[in-house]
Amino acid sequence: MRITSKGQVTIPRDVREQLGLLPATEVEFEIDGDTVRIRKVAEASHRGRSLIGLMRGTANSRMSTDEIMALTRDDG
């Protein structure tokens, strides 16, 4: 794995999945000698709003809002 000219590196998918690192997840770096650790920032209070923002406008259903809401209600 190499660092790009912009200082970027790709975190492997299996590592992201294991740690729950989703787009817009905040991380911090800890330096210990010649070792660097990356970890999720403990305070993630805005994560839900960030995820909703990322998903907004991505639906591709041809159903109306009322039809979708009817599917989510427990009628029985």
Question: Please, what sign has the CA dihedral across residues 43, 45, 50, 52?
Answer: positive
Q: Specify the pLDDT at position 45.
A: 59
Residue ranges covered by each domain of the chain: 1-57
The predicted-structure confidence for 19-62, as pLDDT tens digits, reads as follows: 889 888 888 999 999 999 998 887 655 667 777 777 777 777 78
pLDDT in tens, 57-67: 777 778 888 88
CATH-assigned architecture of domain 1-57: Ribbon (2.10)
Q: What is the DSSP letter of 59?
A: -
- Give me the pLDDT at residue 55, please: 77
Burial class, 21, CB count within 10 angstroms (exposed 0-12 / middle 13-18 / buried 19+): middle
Residue 53, pLDDT score: 75
